[in-house]
Amino acid sequence: MHSIREQVDYLKNFVTDYKNELFARLIRERTGYVTLVLEDLYQPHNCSAVLRSCDCFGVQNVHVIENKNVFRDNSEISMGAADWLTLHRHRGGTSPTMETINDLKRQGFRIVATTPHERDSFVDDINLYKGKMAFFMGTELTGLSDEMMANADEFVKIPMYGFTESYNVSVCAALLLYSVVQRLRRTDIDWHLSEDEQYEVLFQWYKRSIKASTEILDRFNQESE
């Protein structure tokens, strides 16, 4: 079988020059330094709005924890954002939340709980240089689980000046990503995807963009055997 890079280069022949140029430009804007983790969201419009924000801000990886609630995307709201993101679903087992936390820690992520509590620091003040960040957001009704809160490395909040106790989760995600991503892009931190990661993502983008991509790749890979 051909390598991922060879398959990507081959698939480029089946899309327009415009799409090739678009993919080449946008893959350089994607980051794996920040990821969003959604714990038990259940309202499709919130799920979809968060995905749309992640795509717009270039956050490639989104983790979804399904302890009780199934994550559902409404493509009319997300505008098909899920097609361009790498969605990691965590369900089943003893504790999807702890399994997700442990997996992200093994990848070198700081586990950051997003909450409205007074003891938390503001998102604008988070130290970007301490390493990769996984921001956890909880269910619309009760927020993050006690299990998640007990295992967080840091806590952040979005500034609020009104009577309401918290932002809508999709609004919170957009505000958080705007703050972190804009600041990150002004630093000298290498926030880009690695070259191998870029090819993995491009491979998925091309496959989703070409109607007969499976058949095309099957024929291409047979030629290498």
| SS3 sequence of the chain | CCCHHHHHHHHHHHCCHHHHHHHHHHHCCCECCEEEEEECCCCHHHHHHHHHHHHHCCECEEEEEECCCCCCCCHHHHCCHHHHCEEEEEECCCCHHHHHHHHHHHCCCEEEEECCCCCCEEHHHCCHHHCCEEEEECECCCECCHHHHHCCCEEEECCCCCCCCCCCHHHHHHHHHHHHHHHHHCCCCCCECCHHHHHHHHHHHHHHHCCCHHHHHHHHHHCCC
- pLDDT the model gives residue 100: 96
The CATH superfamily of 32-203 is: SPOUT methyltransferase, trefoil knot domain (3.40.1280.10)
- pLDDT the model gives residue 225: 62
Q: Is the pTM of this model over 0.85?
A: yes
- pLDDT the model gives residue 80: 77
pLDDT tens string for the chain (225 positions)? 899 999 999 999 999 999 999 999 999 999 999 999 999 887 777 888 899 999 999 999 999 998 876 766 555 545 578 899 999 999 888 899 999 999 999 999 999 999 877 667 899 999 999 999 999 998 867 789 999 999 999 999 888 888 777 778 889 999 999 999 999 999 999 999 999 999 999 999 999 999 999 999 999 988 766
Residue closest to 101 by CA, chosen among 115, 116, 88: 88
Contact status, residue 96 vs residue 66, Cβ threshold 8 Å: yes
Antiparallel, parallel or unpaired: β 110-114 and 133-137: parallel
